[in-house]
């Protein structure tokens, strides 16, 4: 075994030499500039994580949970020479209370693990459509989006190691003596959000809210022609505003609809309804009639998941199960989309993501779609989008730029397209809510009040004067 140089040798005494790797870099699916890393440290307990953070000279540390932030830089921090603090070995579901609706999970707990534990119970976890092996906590800390809502709304409390090694619990945390209602805000200033998209601490556990499992659930599918996107989005907006739908309705374009069995050349909509058997039947009737009355939609259907003979049956079942908290533990849809198993993504796929927010109105959504097509035509890069309706006013556009990792010119074109997307979308007011490692400077460029940026920096300097934790993508 090669000799470990300081501070890795000191860290090896804490976590064991087999849990310190001195690899200089690792591939990432976005093919963003490969960051030099000084090493990887894998603590197994909270106490080991605290000792690592408190070791003089250990920083700057970049914490990851499972490091599968694909499309945004995977495990990388924007800075070079960080030590990767891989918390994947902290993988305990410490406690679950199904009646009160919470679970305390560590960073290595994946959505597949948690959903399997909850299978058949009255509660479910809000899952994403990423791989089953992705972290519930890591994704929530980056404000990832689940099928029910943005994951950040699932955070009730956080256990955090501060840069000086102190352990604090912010937000709501279970009380051993008596049950208290799960209320993340507490009294006084809410500290929980300080540690989301943040470089103020290393999170070692989260109290996650578990959602009531619906008694019945259906996903209604419908297609429409690309040139009526604005009207179709406005119809969907009305259903959302009138409380007809649950979870995150989605609009897939001609490319992203393919793995879901979409009609060639058309956009595809998924609308989830849930509740009791009777309320679901009624909502299916209402939405189906509404959709027909608009004259915009074709192929309106809610039975693919219940008709075993339907060619799209298997996928339709998986889509409905996703809305019901099952993240497709065999990654069937994930692999259909990416062509690869999760373990191969960082080495074999070329994918960069851009995640802007669009106001939820038809005209703005059509404009965002036009901007995307223009960038695609200008650069020759395949750009595809899925629109996620996050709430009554905000839609997330998940833009994926696919490229061939072995084609140098193709990689450069994809990165040029990504730059253009940042420029064109933000000029139209469509600001990203997550940044990739190569665009961390956009946090400052997009901040409307420089005093607010300065305040964040003052807090960082106060909490972390020695730079123990990397500045990260949102400094």
Ligand X SMILES: Cc1cc2nc3c(=O)[nH]c(=O)nc-3n(C[C@H](O)[C@H](O)[C@H](O)COP(=O)(O)OP(=O)(O)OC[C@H]3O[C@@H](n4cnc5c(N)ncnc54)[C@H](O)[C@@H]3O)c2cc1C
Q: Is residue 145 involved in binding ligand X (CB under 6 A)? A: yes
DSSP reduced 3-state for 48: helix
The residue (of 111 and 379) whose beta carbon lies closer to ligand X is 111
Compute the distance between CA of residue 424 and CA of residue 137 in angstroms, rounded to an integer: 32
The residue (of 12 and 194) whose beta carbon lies closer to ligand X is 194
Q: Is residue 280 involved in binding ligand X (CB under 6 A)? A: no
The residue (of 59 and 138) whose beta carbon lies closer to ligand X is 138
Please provide the DSSP assignment of 236-287 as one string.
HHHHHHTT--EEEEEEE-TTTTGGGTPPTTSEEEEEEEEESHHHHHHHHHHH
Q: Is residue 334 involved in binding ligand X (CB under 6 A)? A: yes
Tell me how far, at minimum, the Cβ of 114 lies from ligand X, in Å. 12
Among 79, 115, 126, 128, binds ligand X (CB under 6 A): 128
Residues 414-473 that bind ligand X (CB under 6 A): 472
The residue (of 234 and 356) whose beta carbon lies closer to ligand X is 356
The residue (of 214 and 327) whose beta carbon lies closer to ligand X is 327
Tell me how far, at minimum, the Cβ of 231 lies from ligand X, in Å. 26
Size of the site for ligand X (CB under 6 A): 29
Among 41, 114, 142, 369, binds ligand X (CB under 6 A): 142
Near ligand X by CB under 6 A, which window of 14-22, 214-222, 333-341, 418-426? Answer: 333-341
Least Cα distance to 43 among 69, 61, 24 occurs for 61
Q: Is residue 403 involved in binding ligand X (CB under 6 A)? A: no
Residue 332 backbone dihedrals phi, psi, to 5 degrees: -60, -50
Check if the beta carbon of residue 215 is closer than 8 Å to that of residue 277. yes
Compute the distance between CA of residue 128 and CA of residue 115 in angstroms, rounded to an integer: 11
Compute the distance between CA of residue 71 and CA of residue 337 in angstroms, rounded to an integer: 14
Among 11, 20, 105, 141, binds ligand X (CB under 6 A): 141
DSSP reduced 3-state for 119: coil
Tell me how far, at minimum, the Cβ of 159 lies from ligand X, in Å. 10
Compute the distance between CA of residue 462 and CA of residue 475 in angstroms, rounded to an integer: 14
Tell me how far, at minimum, the Cβ of 208 lies from ligand X, in Å. 13
Residues 30-89 that bind ligand X (CB under 6 A): 63-71, 87
The residue (of 30 and 184) whose beta carbon lies closer to ligand X is 30
Q: Is residue 26 involved in binding ligand X (CB under 6 A)? A: no
Count other Cβ atoms within 10 Å, centred on residue 56.
10
Q: Is residue 129 involved in binding ligand X (CB under 6 A)? A: yes
Q: Is residue 386 involved in binding ligand X (CB under 6 A)? A: no
Record the tokens describing residue 218, joined without a space.
């259906």
Tell me how far, at minimum, the Cβ of 77 lies from ligand X, in Å. 7
Tell me how far, at minimum, the Cβ of 377 lies from ligand X, in Å. 24
The residue (of 291 and 316) whose beta carbon lies closer to ligand X is 316
Check if the beta carbon of residue 78 is closer than 8 Å to that of residue 40. no
The residue (of 287 and 417) whose beta carbon lies closer to ligand X is 417
Near ligand X by CB under 6 A, which window of 124-132, 170-178, 219-227, 266-274? Answer: 124-132
Residue whose structure tokens are 């989605």: 250
Buried b (16+ CB within 10 A) or exposed e, 214-241: bebbbbbbbbbeeebbeebbbbbbebbe
Among 39, 43, 60, 107, binds ligand X (CB under 6 A): 107
Q: Is residue 331 involved in binding ligand X (CB under 6 A)? A: no
Q: Is residue 397 involved in binding ligand X (CB under 6 A)? A: no
Buried b (16+ CB within 10 A) or exposed e, 100-137: ebbbbbbbbbbbbbbbebbeeeebbbbbbbbbbbbbbb
Alpha carbons within 13 angstroms on the beta-carbon side of residue 359 total 8
**H or E segment to which residue 169 belongs:** strand 167-171
Q: How far is CA 246 from the centre of its chain?
A: 19
Among 11, 105, 203, 435, binds ligand X (CB under 6 A): 203
Q: Is residue 257 involved in binding ligand X (CB under 6 A)? A: no
Least Cα distance to 165 among 456, 464, 458, 461 occurs for 464
Can you give the binding site for ligand X, defined by CB under 6 A? Answer: 63-71, 87, 107, 128-130, 134-135, 138-139, 141-142, 144-145, 202-203, 334, 337-338, 351, 472
């Amino acid at each position: 075994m090669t000799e470990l140089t300081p501070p890795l040798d000191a860290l090896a005494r804490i976590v064991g030499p087999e849990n310190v790797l001195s690899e200089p870099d690792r591939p990432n699916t976005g093919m963003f500039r490969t960051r030099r890393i000084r090493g990887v440290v894998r603590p197994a307990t909270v106490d080991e994580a605290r000792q690592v953070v408190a070791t003089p000279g250990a920083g700057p540390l970049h914490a990851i949970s499972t490091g599968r932030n694909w499309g945004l830089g995977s495990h990388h921090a924007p800075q070079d020479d960080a030590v990767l603090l891989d918390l994947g070995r902290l993988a305990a579901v410490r406690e679950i209370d199904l009646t009160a609706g919470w679970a305390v999970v560590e960073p290595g707990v994946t959505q597949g693990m948690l959903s399997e534990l909850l299978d058949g119970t009255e509660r479910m976890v809000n899952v994403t459509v990423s791989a089953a092996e992705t972290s519930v906590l890591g994704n929530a800390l980056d404000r990832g989006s689940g099928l029910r809502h943005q994951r950040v709304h699932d955070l009730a409390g956080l256990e955090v190691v501060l840069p000086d090694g102190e352990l604090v619990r912010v937000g709501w945390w279970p009380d051993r003596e008596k049950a208290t209602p799960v209320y993340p805000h507490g009294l006084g200033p809410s500290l929980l959000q300080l540690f989301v998209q943040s470089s103020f601490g290393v999170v070692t556990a989260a109290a996650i809210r578990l959602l009531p499992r619906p008694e019945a659930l259906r996903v209604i599918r419908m297609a429409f022609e690309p040139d009526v996107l604005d009207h179709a989005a406005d119809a969907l907006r009305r259903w959302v505003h009138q409380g007809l739908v649950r979870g995150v309705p989605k609009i897939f374009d001609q490319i992203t609809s393919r793995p879901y069995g979409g009609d060639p050349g058309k956009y595809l909509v998924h609308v989830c309804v849930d509740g009791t058997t009777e309320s679901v039947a009624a909502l299916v009737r209402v939405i189906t009639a509404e959709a027909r009355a608009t004259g915009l939609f074709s192929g309106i259907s809610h039975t693919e998941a219940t008709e075993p003979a339907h060619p799209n049956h298997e996928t339709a079942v998986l889509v409905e199960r996703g809305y019901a908290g099952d993240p497709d533990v065999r990654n069937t849809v994930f692999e259909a989309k990416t062509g690869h198993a999760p373990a191969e993504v960082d080495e074999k796929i070329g994918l960069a993501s851009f995640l802007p927010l669009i106001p939820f109105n038809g005209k703005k959504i059509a404009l965002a779609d036009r901007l995307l097509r223009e960038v695609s035509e200008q650069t020759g890069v395949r750009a595809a989008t899925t629109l996620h309706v996050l709430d009554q006013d905000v839609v997330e556009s998940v833009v994926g730029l696919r490229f061939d990792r072995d084609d140098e010119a193709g990689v450069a074109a994809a990165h040029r397209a990504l730059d253009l997307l940042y420029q064109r979308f933000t000029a139209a007011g469509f600001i990203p809510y997550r940044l990739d490692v190569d665009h961390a400077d956009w946090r400052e460029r997009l901040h409307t009040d420089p005093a607010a940026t300065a305040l964040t920096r003052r807090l960082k300097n106060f909490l972390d004067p020695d730079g123990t934790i990397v500045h990260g993508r949102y400094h």
